[in-house]
Amino acid sequence: MKTVNRSEIVGFAGRDAEKRSDKAPVRFSVATGNDGRPNGGKNPLVFHTITVWEGQPEALKVRKGDYVRVVGRLHYTKWIEKDGLERTGVEVVAESVTVLPQGNRLQPKPRTKPGSTK
């Protein structure tokens, strides 16, 4: 049987993409899930860590608030803190990053008055 480790995230960048050195990966986060209600409503906001290793120049263009699509695979890591506690982390290792044309910088939708023709 074939197995698949594939993830697609579409949401708003939570921070600017950064690359700390020439050999380091590009990293940023993507927020998904908030249904627009205070305190997250039924679908709370979740931040996903995105890691891009090579061949994605578009990833460096990601800015906080950009509407992005990320396709990649999930990668899990475990480590032990100084106090002896074991921690687990998950990130999406991106194969494709696309800044989508709409949604750049979160903008509230204009409200119209009831009965307005606009």
pLDDT digits (tens, 9 = 90+) for 81-99: 999 999 999 999 999 999 9
Domain ranges, ordered by start, for the chain: 7-99
Cβ contacts of residue 74 below 8 Å, gap of 6+?
5, 7, 90, 91, 92, 93
Q: How far is CA 66 from CA 10, 25, 45, 56, 116, in A?
A: 11, 19, 16, 16, 31
pLDDT digits (tens, 9 = 90+) for 28-71: 999 998 665 555 566 778 899 999 998 788 888 899 999 999 99
Torsions phi, psi for 46 (to 5 deg): -125, 135
Other residues' Cβ atoms within 10 Å of the Cβ of residue 61 = 14
Residue 39 region by backbone torsions, left for phi larger than 0, else alpha for psi between -120 and 50, else beta: left
CATH superfamily of the 7-99 domain: Nucleic acid-binding proteins (2.40.50.140)
